[in-house]
Structure 1
Amino acid sequence: MALQTLSSPALAAARSEFTGGRGYLAACTVGLPTRATRAAVIAELDAAAAGRPDPSAASAAVERSRALFARLVGVESRSVAIGSQVSVAVALVAASLPHGAEVLVAEGDFSSVVLPFVHAGRSLRVRAVPLADLAGSVGATTALVAFSLVQSATGEVADADAIVSAAAAHGARTLCDATQAVGWLPVEASRFDALVCHTYKWLCAPRGVSFLTLSDDLAREVPPLFAGWYAGGDPWSSCYGGDVELAPDVTRFDASPAWQAFVGAAPALALFASLDGHAVHEHATGLAAAFRLRLGLGRPDRASAIVTWADPDGAALSRLADAGIVASGRAGRARVAFHVFNDEEDVELAASALGR
């Protein structure tokens, strides 16, 4: 059934927004720019080179991007802060925890989700357990569970329902990194106390655009450590001195935006916000399932758009590269990803390159 969505007009139109894609199975590493993103960035650079930079238009692109991301994850814009790095957003949440608090993380999770707690300077106790044991390991001393919804190294999809339920039962908060999820997996940010996401992978935006969502309750406890001029209620009147009134909502955690990146992000986010997220999920996981079948890999507990398998010597990755296929290797595993710009031909090309 999943592969039937390939013929849907909306997904076919979305695929036409990309000039490349054939043989590109690395959206989990970096997404491909859309035609509109490329055009917007080039136009902005050309205008600046001609002596006509437009900061106001760039700021408008920031707000469009914020609103579009909010729509993608089902929250209001006031609950979304902008940034450029996931680790900085995670560090803000780490700074809200009391000294000695326990933070529960998944073994082998992406470092940007873990290191801010390890080096928070607040004597936080970071406890790592296997992803499958995360929910069952939440206890009375756990202050926060921090995890990636989709694991970068393995493509495993976390059991968010179980984790959120266990955290609630023990009075713990949750921080979810959705960088490897938003764009192919429907995500509801309001389920988590905090959600972080960089958009340069599955949302196909330029690198330098990230988002942080916070519940109202947690937002009251997070210190605006990185407050700058963009953290004011009106950034353009918050440029000087320390007597600045910060924004009354989550936007007070805004970092000064990388303008050109947001100019390119707005059209990419608009594309994904216009799509049926469940159809994209069926498409991407359907292709991944077909590839897993060709390779004789077992079915995962929860469908993923990322397929990985043991490749300690890099032989599989080399065979894919020799066939002109762009894939990636992580933690001794070969890794391929299927996105809106891929179709059944990409499954066939990759499987054939591996002799399957």
Structure 2
Amino acid sequence: MTAPARTLPAPTGAPLSVADLAGQFARGTGYLAACTMGLPLAATLEAQQRDQEAWWTGRRSPVDYGAIVEESRAAWARSVGVPTSAVAIGSQTSVMVSVVAAAVPDGADVLCVDGDFSSMVFPFVAQAHRGVTVRSVPLAELAESVGERTAVVAWSAVQSATGEVADHAAVVAAAARHGSLTVCDLTQAAGVLPVDAATVDVTVCHAYKWLCSPRGAALATFSARALAELRPVQAGWYAGESVWSSCYGPEMHLASDARAFDVSPAWQAWAGALPALDAFSRLDVAEAWTHASGLGDELCRRLGIAEQGQAIVTWPDAEARDVAAMTAAGLTVSGRAGRARVAFHLWNDGDDVEAVVRALRT
């Protein structure tokens, strides 16, 4: 196993290719589970080590972490095509979605996707006591299922269990025709698939998968409509217009932009997230998708199944025999909803495809 480069190959702000970032990861790991948990960049590992040493020796303060969070916020804004003022930071996607769910009118209709990740569904289901109805349909029928009564359309850009990619433009257009608020989870997409948050009212993303950040760093974006209609029900000191003047109540002066939806950051997580978020903001993500989905299709051809055009390749494996065979061969894969699930990201190459095929044939 070769050691990855410890620093990024280009100065901050310069574009990065798949090859540039691939050199930032440990090689020969057999890791095919970015959809479960990403691997850290060498720069992230180094940043966390520096942070732990600074903490250990008493050279860290909340003000230091505040600066790191703001740089991370700006990097995410660049990645998804929105102004920095539209970005809020958090730690879990379900909490961010719950802000929307709490604002859904009594008796409203919410449209979700069959089998979508629970963090995109449960917050709305939890509003049943107010008469809120959650209706789910197959992903392919999502756009056509939006109707006059649909208050919110909520979906994942890429489905966790199957890797299917939503027809983003069609869903957004249908929601616009009916005046429905749109909520999209980018957790299984950002970092490998080009995404555009500017067309959605609310996006949420946990950065610990394809964005290769520590768990505990999550981000959301809010449109002008969302900022006007939603309430920051989880508001705390970090949501204040002046953070350090918002530590005590009862007077509340929240930020006038998306920072009003901030939650207090998990400091050490953001120290590691910043190098990754900056790097992915400079990555040619279209190239990343070509790389990852190309490996996925190569695996499909080798296994004799239909090409899926996805970075996450799945197939029926109800008894988890294929998952067990790949695990026994030293590969890290996952199984979800009765299917074997193999994910390709920047650190993967043709050798990983060959390793899967060899494990299954054995």
Taking structure 1 as the reference length, what is the TM-score of the superposition?
0.95
Q: How does 1:70-219 map to 2 (within 5 A)?
A: 70-120=77-127, 121-219=129-227
User: Which runs of 5 or more structure 2 residues have no equivalent in the other structure?
Assistant: 1-14
Question: 1:75 is aligned with what amino acid?
Answer: V
* Residue in 1 that maps onto 2:274: 266
What is the Cα-based RMSD across aligned positions, in Å?
Answer: 1.4
CA distance, structure 2, for counterparts of residue 144 and residue 162 of structure 1:
15
CA drift at 1:281: 1.1
Q: Is the 8 A contact 2:16 2:279 kept in 1?
A: no
Instruction: Out of 257-266 and 89-98, give the one that drifted further.
Output: 89-98
CA distance, structure 2, for counterparts of residue 265 and residue 40 of structure 1:
9
Are 1:243 and 2:261 matched, yes or no?
A: no
Which structure has more relative contact order (CA 8 Å, sep 6+)? It is 1
Q: How does 1:262-301 map to 2 (within 5 A)?
A: 262-300=270-308
CA shift digits 1:247-289 (9 cap, x unpaired): 0001100000000000000001111112111111111111111
CA drift at 1:19: 2.1
CA distance, structure 2, for counterparts of residue 215 and residue 21 of structure 1:
42
CA shift digits 1:13-67 (9 cap, x unpaired): 2111112463110000000011111111121111111222232221111111111
Secondary structure, aligned partner of 1:176:
strand
Are 1:310 and 2:316 matched, yes or no?
A: yes
CA drift at 1:233: 1.2
Quick one: which of 238, 257, 260 aligns to 2:265?
Answer: 257
CA distance, structure 2, for counterparts of residue 230 and residue 66 of structure 1:
14
Q: Is the 8 A contact 2:16 2:283 kept in 1?
A: no
Which aligned runs of 4 or more in structure 1 are off by greater than 6 angstroms? Answer: none
CA drift at 1:311: 0.4
How many matched pairs? Answer: 347
CA distance, structure 2, for counterparts of residue 21 and residue 95 of structure 1:
46
Secondary structure, aligned partner of 1:281:
helix
Taking structure 2 as the reference length, what is the TM-score of the superposition?
0.93
CA distance, structure 2, for counterparts of residue 235 and residue 38 of structure 1:
29
Q: Is the 8 A contact 1:22 1:341 kept in 2?
A: no
Identity of paired residues, percent? Answer: 53
Change (3 A) 1:168 1:314: same
Secondary structure, aligned partner of 2:88:
strand
CA distance, structure 2, for counterparts of residue 342 and residue 71 of structure 1:
25
Q: Is the 8 A contact 2:117 2:160 kept in 1?
A: yes
CA distance, structure 1, for counterparts of residue 84 and residue 343 of structure 2:
30
* Residue in 1 that maps onto 2:24: 17
* Residue in 2 that maps onto 1:335: 341
CA distance, structure 1, for counterparts of residue 270 and residue 152 of structure 2:
31
Change (3 A) 1:61 1:274: same
Secondary structure, aligned partner of 2:276:
helix
Instruction: Out of 290-299 and 85-94, give the one that drifted further.
Output: 290-299
CA distance, structure 2, for counterparts of residue 59 and residue 351 of structure 1:
47
Change (3 A) 1:343 1:153: same
Are 1:355 and 2:361 matched, yes or no?
A: yes
* Residue in 2 that maps onto 1:345: 351
CA distance, structure 2, for counterparts of residue 74 and residue 37 of structure 1:
23
Question: 2:208 is aligned with what amino acid?
Answer: Y
* Residue in 2 that maps onto 1:60: 67
CA distance, structure 2, for counterparts of residue 9 and residue 104 of structure 1:
38
Question: 2:213 is aligned with what amino acid?
Answer: A
CA distance, structure 1, for counterparts of residue 27 and residue 252 of structure 2:
46
CA shift digits 1:321-343 (9 cap, x unpaired): 11111000001110010000111
Q: Is the 8 A contact 1:232 1:238 kept in 2?
A: yes
Secondary structure, aligned partner of 2:24:
coil
CA drift at 1:355: 1.6
CA distance, structure 1, for counterparts of residue 220 and residue 144 of structure 2:
26
CA distance, structure 1, for counterparts of residue 30 and residue 92 of structure 2:
28
CA distance, structure 2, for counterparts of residue 9 and residue 260 of structure 1:
25
CA distance, structure 2, for counterparts of residue 59 and residue 214 of structure 1:
21
Instruction: Out of 130-139 and 192-201, give the one that drifted further.
Output: 130-139
Secondary structure, aligned partner of 2:121:
helix
* Residue in 2 that maps onto 1:221: 229
CA shift digits 1:211-256 (9 cap, x unpaired): 1111111111111111111001121121111213100001100000
* Residue in 1 that maps onto 2:45: 38
